Amino acid sequence: MKKTDLNVVSIILARGGSKGLPRKNIKSLAGKPLIAYSIEAAKQSKHVSRVIVSTDDDEIASVALQYGAEVPFIRPANLADDDATSEVALKHTVEWLRTNENYNVDIVVYLQVTDVFRKSHMIDDCVQVLLDNPDIDSAFMGLVEHKNYWRNENGKFIRLANDIPYGVPRQKREPVYREDTGIALATRAEVVLQGKRIGENCHVVPYEQDVWFIDIHSEFDLWLSEKIITDKNILPNE
């Protein structure tokens, strides 16, 4: 039984035409297809009502069903090509459920298949922010950082957050936060229906962990993730 009457739906996007690592969404990682880790994370959530995979690929759909997700439609090809955005695919899913099932989504939980090393509580931490704060549009995981970041603005390099002074010990320095929506993001459905993944009023849920650098887009990323799981016993969703 979920602890909220709201319809909290996890939408996992998994198109078949990945380029950098072909068929990456169902590549084997420590004995499971990659997509299985995100499906299992969503199913472990105490708030998520439904876990839906949006894909244009029959094989991915079959694997998703095997691991307990719903695949109520095959995503149209024009929403799964190289130019299609995550925002468009998320909006399509929310609209499809409303039109075809008369099912209104209240909160969308976005999980990226390539981010497998999420902790089991992260999804619920993000959703809980929206349940507790009706004015918040989106809540997502943010990696706590103490580095200096710069951008190139018309040929001139400018330090971001330049009001944070140099010369302060790391332990006492004000952190910045790297947006990691692929690990966990909760957004109100009305924001998604506007064609956005993240709303204007956001809350960052800070996190720190050993494997913050893993986002699987190459054979090396896959190999390294396997080593982390098998040699270091650092397991996704735990």
* CA atoms lying within 13 Å on the CB side of residue 149: 9
User: How far is residue 110's CA from residue 93's CA, in Å, rounded to a whole number?
Assistant: 12
66 and 78 Cβ atoms separated by less than 8 Å: no
SS3 per-residue string spanning the chain? CCCCCCCEEEEEECCCCCCCCCCHHHCEECCEEHHHHHHHHHHHCCCCCEEEEEECCHHHHHHHHHCCCECCCECCHHHCCCCCCHHHHHHHHHHHHHHHHCCCCCEEEEECCCCCCCCCCHHHHHHHHHHHCCCCCEEEEEEEECCCCEEEECCEEEECCCCCCCCCCHHHCCCEEEEEEEEEEEEEHHHHCCCCCCCCCEEEEEECCCCCCCCCCCHHHHHHHHHHHHHHCCCCCC
Per-residue pLDDT of the chain (238 residues; tens, 9 = 90+): 355 689 999 999 999 987 778 899 999 999 999 999 999 999 999 999 999 999 999 999 999 999 999 999 999 999 998 889 999 999 999 999 999 999 999 999 999 999 999 998 999 999 999 999 999 999 999 999 988 999 999 999 999 998 888 888 877 888 999 999 999 999 999 999 999 999 999 999 999 988 888 999 999 999 999 999 999 998 898 8
Angle ∠(126,131,136) on CA atoms, nearest 5: 75
pTM of the model: 0.92
In angstroms, what CA-CA distances link 172 with 51, 142, 164, 167? 41, 19, 11, 10
Quote the pLDDT of residue 21.
Answer: 86
Residues linked to residue 188 through DSSP beta bridges, in sequence order? 107
224/217 Cα distance (integer angstroms)? 11
| The two structure tokens encoding residue 124 | 């619920």
pLDDT of residue 3: 53
Q: What are phi and psi of 215, to 5 degrees?
A: -145, 110
Longest Cα separation, the chain: 58
Q: What is the CATH number of domain 8-142+178-232?
A: 3.90.550.10
64/54 Cα distance (integer angstroms)? 10
